[in-house]
Structure 1
Amino acid sequence: MEWFGRAHINFTTSPKSLGLKGKDGKETDLLEICRATVPPCQLNPLLFNGHAQTMWTATKSHGPPLHYRRKIFEADHAEFNGSFAVDFAVTDPALRDKADDTLPPRTAYFTDDELSALGSDDDRPMLVILHGLSGGSHEVYLRYAIAPLIDSGKWEACVVNSRGCANSKITTGLLYNARATWDVRQTIKWLSKTYPNRPLFGLGFSLGACILTNYLGEEGTTTPLKAAVVVANPWALHISSKMLQSSFIGHNIYQRALGNSMKALSSRHKDELDKYTNIDTAHLLSLTYLYEFDRAYQCPTWGYPTEEAYYRDASSSDALLAVRVPLLAINAEDDPIASRLALPYAEAAVNPYTVLCTTSLGGHLGWFEVGGGRWHAKPVCNFLNRMAFEVDLDSINDNNAHRERAYGNPKHGTNFDPTRRKMHVKLNK
């Protein structure tokens, strides 16, 4: 039993965790690093359960101020064309004195001169961040997590905004879904080319955590990312959705709130949806719950027969099996949106590249401490700093047991590919 907000912390990983070596030559492993970088979880005792923690996120909290410059990318995928926005954190006073009223607070577009000056051969670590459903670079939970890294002066960071989010414009009828890995893939490829000496790291929240995990599974050993953290991943979307629909609070508060956020997003892009799709936008904008939105938009857009088929196909619990970079996954067991019943304990227990860290308290992207701080920022920053500055990133040693996707029974010629999906997507690697 938790006492005055003190949450229990558990770690799940393979019996033989991924072998690593410090830059000082000392042998270690991924589990040891995670245990050392995840601090005790002491939360505000007045927010005593997952509902209280989650609902408190709706209060007006300014959070750490971060400034961004926005770059618009034209998608390089033939089938999923269109544009998307990436916001780069900036600390240069010359770049922080502007803001565009059409964008989120403290955000402005790069000027043409600034865009032409992008790129360097420095070796500062670069963090690629994915936000939650209908969010963006302005989200408070995101800024709490990355502000210490940016303020330290040792990190660079950018946020890949899902199409249409954070006041970005769409130029086709495509928004995004939980399988929408192509924009983050393109961004990472661009960063690798533009900053060839920077080690790249990933960080995802909620739906963005699902997208990032799917990306990591699809890429396997070929991703340029050196390590990643995913926070409050819903993992098995069909389970989390059913759990929300099965309770009064889940259905009438969370499903309604999530549905309203997607309805508002669709309303902002109604002209494009009317122009480029056959979606009945009048019907779409009359809906109330998230699963109704997914049925009315995601299914016809991506060809799924039902929202349940979409949820099963877009879930990232199987993709976790194919991750081949050090990954710390953080979830609260009392999260009412990313249900405890969806947590991939079994998958984490067979992949030495992953550690699933669960706290008994915290809600969905809550983890509020006394005084308003957010606990999740501490393990995120600690882990990333440890991996970037203290671990020899070329020292991975798992005896090659999991280098390739090797699930199945060779004796009978069977094979299981964790990233094989029913929605066939050419990756454009």
Structure 2
Amino acid sequence: MVLSYLKSYVTNTVPQKPVPFVNKQDQTEAGLPDIIKQSVKELSEGYSYWLYPFLSSGHLQTAYTAVRKFENRDEVCYKRRLMTVEDIRYKVNDDELPYDRWEGQSTFAIDYVVAPGNEDKEHERFKPESQVLDLPPRTEYLDPSKEQSLLDDESKPLVIALHGLSGGSFESYLRAFVHKITQEPYGFDALVLNSRGCANHTITSPQLFCGLWTNDLRYLINEHILKKWPNKRIYLIGFSLGGAIIANYLGQEYDAVSKNIKASIIVSSPWSFPDSSYRLQESLLGNRLYSPAMCQNLLKLLKNHYEGHLKYDNVVDDYHKNPESYKVEKLKDFDDNFTSRLFGFNCADEYYRHASPSNRISKIRVPTILLNSQDDPIASYKSLPETEIKLNPYTVLIGTTIGGHLGWFDYKGDRWYAEPASNLFKELDKNWEINEKALKSSDLPLVEPTWKYDRIVS
């Protein structure tokens, strides 16, 4: 009984017919669950780890994540590049779709992980005129002439990381992972895709982000990574909302997904947005602490970007001029008033239903790990798509009994998931590749084309 309060235990939900991998050295075959069991035991059924003292519940793990900023831990250095979303089209079957509706005005920020000691005291000479906010800690603007060389070693795979709601590359839960995987013995390249307006990026068109806005990730991969480094092996990891964006992207891409994308890990993602919304409203801490805090962070984004471009949006402009006529206290209030309407939905509930990654998990065709804790007070474990996981050969659910939302602090105060996640990516990249020929169409779940595009088009 005492150990149940001091340890977190790992559980696995696996598919009935896992996607077959073949070993690059000896040509033996194994499924993803077997690879995890043999080579990444920290993620296998029955494994346990000691918790950080006094953080023996999901609420405590989650609160500790919010209270502690860990500024002097996992000190990752970044070089920032602003990506301009050019007014070009990408193809879905026979249709050509725009990346956004702002005709080449939009930008988003990507932060490349670089080794310490490459500081440039004059980096602001590369600062675009549109950017008015100070950069986050240990972040500098990138000299464009040096960008190609950052990822030119194509023997090294690349991890693309996405952060949680209103966060950024500076977040401690993200730095814990990218710091680990870019060091030896892993040695991956890494970059962080920051959502529009986040991590002190100044938006250049009247748009922020949402869980169904996948086109910035799509643009980054299609128009930048694959064109500059066409042989780069890509791994994806997303945290909370960032994980939902990755899952939605992979499901939308379906079997047209780039062969360069080898695997993904989705950490603390809400797979059912409606259920997570209900969970926040029904829980005392969720209703009084988590939801108001998330709402305030989003309202800060509206305030920070109003004078830039959000004032051109009628809804945001009216709120700025008449705040007393709005009730915006909780996360759902914000999504009702702003997120849903900025992206063409009538209300938060409609947005939540469409944006839930559980709608697309049956269409994922990249080996994908779902990492969730059973005591997560924000991303409800009860609404995880376990049936779909059992039917989709490409997915595995790794659960823990204690970990909270983006917590998982072990007895040393480290994020437990950082090392096993790095081990898994390294193991897959070094030793395994999917044996597509051994995968039968009958082994895959049926996919009903209920939406023509299954994405935000305009």
TM-score by length of 1: 0.91
- Structure 2 partner of 1:382: 423
Shift of residue 99 of structure 1? 7.1
CA distance in 2, matches of 1:99, 1:333: 44
Relative to 1, partners in 2 of residues 1:64 and 1:119: Cα closer, same or farther, differing over 3 Å?
Answer: closer
Give the corresponding residue for 1:79: 100
Partner of residue 319, structure 1: 360
Q: For the residues of structure 2 that align with 1:184 and 1:64, how far apart are their CA atoms?
A: 25
For residue 127 of structure 2, what is the aligned residue in structure 1?
Answer: none
Counterpart Cα distance in 1 of 2:111 and 2:355 = 25
Unaligned regions of 5+ residues in structure 2, if any? 87-97, 125-132
2: CA distance, partners of 1:99 / 1:397: 51
C-alpha deviation, 1:210, in angstroms: 0.2
CA positional deviation for 1:325: 1.0
The secondary structure found in structure 2 opposite 1:317 is: helix
- 1:165 and 2:198 correspond: yes
- Aligned partner of 1:411 in structure 2 is none
Residues 159, 350 of structure 1: alpha-carbon distance in 2 compared, 3 angstrom cutoff: same
- Label 1:88 to 1:286 Cα distance change in 2 as closer, same or farther (>3 A): farther
Does structure 2 conserve the Cα–Cα contact (< 8 Å) formed by 1:322 and 1:418? no
C-alpha spacing 1:418/1:191, structure 2 compared with 1 (3 Å): farther
Partner of 1:273: 310
- Say whether 1:61 aligns with 2:70: yes
Whole-angstrom CA distance in 2 between matches of 1:116 and 1:391: 28
Q: What is the Cα deviation at residue 423 of structure 1?
A: 6.2
> 2 CA distance for matches of 1:199 and 1:374?
25
2-structure distance, mates of 1:353, 1:273: 40
In structure 2, C-alpha distance between the alignment counterparts of 1:325 and 1:331, rounded to whole Å: 19
> Which secondary structure state, in structure 2, belongs to the residue aligned with residue 105 of structure 1?
coil
Question: Matched residue of 2:432: which SS?
Answer: coil
The alignment partner of 1:401 has SS state of helix
Paired position in structure 2 for 1:209: 243
- The CA distance in 2 between the partners of 1:193 and 1:74, in whole Å, is 15
Q: Is residue 110 of structure 1 aligned with residue 142 of structure 2?
A: yes
Deviations 1:219-253 (A, max 9, x none): 12222211111100111001000111012211010
**Deviating more after overlay: 46-55 vs 143-152:** 143-152
| Letter aligned with residue 301 of structure 1 | L
What is the rounded CA distance, in whole Å, between the counterparts of 2:450 and 2:428 in structure 1?
Answer: 26
Q: Is the 8 A contact 2:272 2:384 kept in 1?
A: yes
8 Å contact from structure 1 (residues 34, 355) kept in 2: no
Match of 1:361 in 2: 402
TM-score with structure 2 setting the length:
0.85
Pick closer, same or farther for the CA change 1:78–1:12 going to 2, 3 Å: closer
> Are the equivalent residues in 2 in contact too, given 1:206–1:231 (CA < 8 A)?
yes
Shift in alpha-carbon separation, 1:156–1:297, aligned structure 2, 3 A: same
How far the C-alpha of 1:116 sits from its partner, in A, is 6.5
The verdict on how the C-alpha distance between 1:96 and 1:320 changes in structure 2, with shifts beyond 3 A counting, is farther
Q: Would you say the 8 A contact 2:19–2:434 is kept in 1?
A: no
Answer whether contact 1:7 1:361 (CA < 8 A) is retained: yes
The amino acid of 1:60's aligned partner reads K
Question: Does structure 1 retain, via aligned residues, the 8 Å contact 2:123–2:142?
Answer: no
Mapped contact 2:375–2:403 kept (Cα < 8 A): yes
Deviations along 1:152-187, whole A, 9 cap, x unmatched?
Answer: 262111111000000001111100000010000111
The unaligned stretches of length 5 or more in structure 1 are 408-415
1:195 corresponds, among 219, 229, 232, to 229
Q: Which position in structure 1 is the counterpart of 2:12?
A: 11
Cα-to-partner distance string for 1:304-345 (whole Å, 9 max, x where unaligned): 122111001000012111110111110001000001222111
- 1:95-134 maps to which residues of 2 (within 5 A)? 95=119, 102-115=134-147, 120=152, 122-134=154-166
Q: Could you say if the C-alpha distance between residues 127 and 221 of structure 1 is closer, same or farther in structure 2, counting changes exceeding 3 Å?
A: same
Aligned counterparts, 1:195-274, within 5 A: 195-224=229-258, 225-271=261-307, 272-274=309-311
Q: Read off the aligned partner of 2:70 and give its amino acid letter.
A: S
Q: Is the 8 A contact 2:77 2:138 kept in 1?
A: yes
Aligned match of 1:185 in 199, 215, 218?
Answer: 218
Q: Secondary structure, in 3 states, of the residue corresponding to 1:392?
A: strand
Structure 1 pair 149–423 and aligned structure 2 pair: CA distance change class (3 A) = closer
Letter matched to residue 4 of structure 2: W
